[in-house]
Amino acid sequence: PNRLCQYLFELSQKFNQFYDRCSVLQADEPQRTSRLILCDLTARTLKLGLSLLGIQVLERM
């Protein structure tokens, strides 16, 4: 569990840096599509990882 927790923590930090630095919705195509896919895959990875740890996630805040 420790490795998974560390991985999820680092992934969330890296994604936060990306989201802070890169415009997603205002980006031109094809960057917007690529960035939206990256957001979706990151969310799926975090959700699955947290699920493996027995932690439920909110769909929206």
Domain extent at residue 18 = 2-52
Our count of domains for the chain comes to 1
Q: Specify the pLDDT at position 1.
A: 86
Asked if residue 42 belongs to a domain, the reply is yes
Task: Report pTM.
Answer: 0.89
Asked if residue 14 belongs to a domain, the reply is yes
Asked if residue 60 belongs to a domain, the reply is no
E strand or H helix at 3, and its extent? helix 2-21
Q: d(Cα 4, Cα 14) in Å, to the nearest integer?
A: 15
Asked if residue 28 belongs to a domain, the reply is yes
Spans of the chain below 70 pLDDT: none
Q: d(Cα 48, Cα 18) in Å, to the nearest integer?
A: 20
Q: Specify the pLDDT at position 4.
A: 98
Asked if residue 59 belongs to a domain, the reply is no
Asked if residue 46 belongs to a domain, the reply is yes
